[in-house]
Structure 1
């Protein structure tokens, strides 16, 4: 582990915990400008836009279990299960890759199987 890894860990943990408790201002404080987010469902170049649907998402989350975490000087990876109340989704295994610039998260890549999410999103999105 490098000397920077403890700071990387503290920042990623602060973001992860703030995000899953719905504390958008605390989550945004860990993010850099410029910022880029990418997932199978959406992309964003704005910290606020990236977190704009958080309340709706957390409305279906019943728990999160952190499985593994890996930290380096300028990157980190979390692997976790998101438990949802949506039967079509159930438990979503998720990997999240973070990249850092000057001690803040500048890029997040969220990786998961979005197959069930596409059906759910079509069901709740008006035509």
Structure 2
């Protein structure tokens, strides 16, 4: 399991076309990717299972706890991203609820775009 952060301060100011915003890059793929939005209500859980393909969980609202095999739970919140490799056992749970974008693809390398989060 790898933890990343995609906060505004890690982004780049965009001014082309009279724009005025900050873009925090997350990932790029050349192979097909499945992208979805996951909504976990209060006391929600994504049960302990193996990742079928590399998977990136991007928390956009709320907070929760994540773990991999033989690891303690780690608190995550909006602005954090969690990466699990193919075959890696993992679980996500929340007491208060969280919303996350999930990207699954055989070709995910978040370290190319995001900085690792220090626990």
Instruction: Name the TM-score, length of structure 2 as normaliser.
Output: 0.29
Structure with the bigger RCO (C-alpha within 8 Å, sep 6+) is: 2
Instruction: Name the TM-score, length of structure 1 as normaliser.
Output: 0.28
Please state which structure has a larger fraction of its residues in strand. Answer: 2
